[in-house]
Amino acid sequence: MEDWKIKIAVLWLMHTLAGVFVGFVLWLEPGVLEEIIAGEISGTRITPEIMLMVSIEFLVPFFMAFLSLTLKDSINRWVNIIVGIFFTALGLISAITYLASASAYSAYAILMWLSITVVTALIVWYAWKSKQKA
Say what the pLDDT of residue 132 is: 61
- Helix H or strand E encompassing 40: strand 40-41
- Helix H or strand E encompassing 44: strand 44-45
- The H-assigned helical ranges of 38-72 are 48-70
Tens of pLDDT, residue by residue over 68-124, are 999 999 999 999 999 999 999 998 888 888 788 766 667 887 888 889 999 999 999
DSSP states of 87-119 as a string?
Answer: HHHHHHHHHHHHHHH-SS--HHHHHHHHHHHHH
Say what the pLDDT of residue 4 is: 92
User: Span 19-42, mean pLDDT?
Assistant: 85
Say what the pLDDT of residue 75 is: 94
**36 or 12, which is more confident?**
12
Of 42, 32, 22, 27, nearest to 116 (Cα)?
22
pLDDT over 70 (residue 19): yes
Global pTM value? 0.86
The one-letter code for the residue type at 20 is V
Strands 44-45, 40-41: parallel, antiparallel or unpaired by DSSP? antiparallel
Distances from the Cα of 127 to the Cα of 9, 68, 69, 74, angstroms: 11, 10, 12, 10
- The per-residue pLDDT of the chain, averaged, comes to 88
Residue 29 DSSP class: S
pLDDT bucket at 45, cuts 50 / 70 / 90? very high
Say what the pLDDT of residue 104 is: 66
